[in-house]
Chain A
Amino acid sequence: MSAEAAISWTLTRATARRVLAQLRHDPRTIVMMLAVPSVLMILLRYTLNNPLALNRFAPVYIGVFPFVIMFIVAAITTQRERARGTLERLMAMPLGKLDLLAGYGIAFGLVACVQVTVVLIISLTWLGVSLPGSAVPMAVIAVLDAVLGMSLGLFASAFARSEFQAVQFMPAFVLPQALLCGLVVARADMTPVLRWLSDVLPLSYAVDAMQRISTSASWTTAIGADIAIILAFTAAALVGGALTLRRRTR
């Protein structure tokens, strides 16, 4: 296990580069990853057509859209790695499981940075969303949300036997969280059971942090607590991903 626990920067970086190179050869996917959250925001702006409502909802969606997209992309990518046999090849080679997962994390994290930057710029300029303070803390939280979605997707893909199943994890894992995270009904207004469910689901904290940062000009301890929980969920999902990634199969 000690050999497994060590993480190699060279191999992590090589994996991140490889994942980004794969994306680079697939321009359509890049365009979709970068454009879809922004297009959805534009749609939201014109469906609400009300600056006050937009200011309330937009920050939440800036956190949720990248979360959802990263979840699917990560789940499918790892599922493909399994189906093509490249995962088995890598597991027979001197690559640590954490090297692989961290490599994915860095590559998709960088994509999330660009994705969030684009959607924030469009929201704050063209769509006229206004923030009480700087956009940077919001950008940081949105990227963390996206990375959380990615690590949950990596973890979920361990339970998918086919790409078809992996795609369906989106409605199975993500939509319940979307219903319970305070997007539809405020978490405080839920019945105790639903409230309790909402409390143990990661997206609730991602949305909570976005809501808080959109109404507060400065950093608060509540935001700090949300971020700590988001990071803990991310780490747990990555470790869970490493544990479910088997070097040997039965």
Chain B
Amino acid sequence: MTGADPVVEARGLVVRRSGHVILDDLTFTIAGGQVTGLLGPSGCGKTTLMRTLVGVQEITAGQVTLLGRQAGHPRLRDRIGYSTQDPAVYPDLTLTENLRYFGTVLGLKRDKLTGAIAKTVRDLDLGGLEDRLVGTFSGGQLARVGLAVALLGAPDLLVLDEPTVGLDPVLRHDLWAMFHRLADAGTTLLVSSHVMDEAARCDYLLFMRDGRFLAEATPAAILQETGAADLEAAFLRLAGGPREEREERAERAEPEERAEKAAKR
């Protein structure tokens, strides 16, 4: 996987759920071997976008290709690692039993399985917890178990939904260092967050709000373009300033926007 090839390509992606537009006509690419950050407030569509990429969300319109195949293709299932905001592991199994089951599902066997488990346990600093029931873990430990399952099969693309929520700063720092080590080794990462101080750690950023992208660029380019002092200020500026101002403008713009949308249909 060279850094130049886009690993993810989406064109005109729309997801509508019970009448609401969750993803509003997104067209973007994600480059290989980089850490791409998906930043935006909670409820803006980050999780739906990630679920679309891993193939568990139905698409209303548009095209999404990953690693040369359509989203949801069976061949992609062992090449994409996915971790959700909930740990999505079995609390009534030990750490090893969890990893062993998910590893087997990913097609790992015998020595390879044992090796992969040992490696992820080490990488995520879960040593010593192997034989404990996951249900007794702390929030931070649980989050890492969810991440461990995503990393287990050494996938080409990692889709991580808010992987660092609730982790202590030291661990967060270590995880980001690991994300970049993985990217240097050729893995493509898409990491979502609603914490803007994590944006600076990404190679590339997708700023999202209300189902649309406000910006797609490197952190440096976004700072330069907006003239903001930091990425949080840049996001606010791109989002159109404080709420009152925005609402006023939206009111004025609404009839026009509606006409535009109707024309599209």
Contacts and interface: CB of A to CB of B under 8 A. Distances in A.
A250 B51 CA distance: 11
A94 B74 contact: yes
A141 B102 CA distance: 34
Contacts of B90: 18, 22, 84, 86
Taking each of A10, A17, A21, A90, which has the highest tally of chain B beta carbons within 10 Å of its own beta carbon? A21
Interface in A8-61: 10-11, 14-15, 17-18, 21-22, 25-26
B105 A247 contact: no
B180 to A, nearest CB: 24
Contacts of A249: 51, 56-58
B107 interface: yes
Interface stretch (B3-11, B80-88, B119-127): B80-88
B77 interface: yes
B92 interface: yes
B105 A84 contact: no
Contacts of B54: 92
Contacts of A84: 86, 88-91
A247 B59 CA distance: 13
Taking each of A14, A89, A91, A247, which has the highest tally of chain B beta carbons within 10 Å of its own beta carbon? A89
Interface string A186-209: 000000000000000000000000
Interface in B146-203: 149
Contacts, number: 78
Instruction: Tell me what chain A mostly uses at the interface: helix, strand, loop, or mixed.
Output: helix
A14 B108 CA distance: 12
A87 to B, nearest CB: 9
Contact of B56 (A17, A22, A91, A94): A91
A86 B87 CA distance: 9
A88 B84 contact: yes
Nearest to B77: A94
Given A14-B101, A25-B133, A94-B77, A248 B55 contact: yes
Given A89-B102, A92-B55, A249-B57, 12 more contacts: A84-B89, A84-B90, A84-B91, A85-B84, A85-B86, A91-B56, A92-B80, A94-B77, A94-B78, A247-B72, A248-B56, A248-B58
Interface of A: 3, 10-11, 14-15, 17-18, 21-22, 25-26, 84-86, 88-95, 247-250
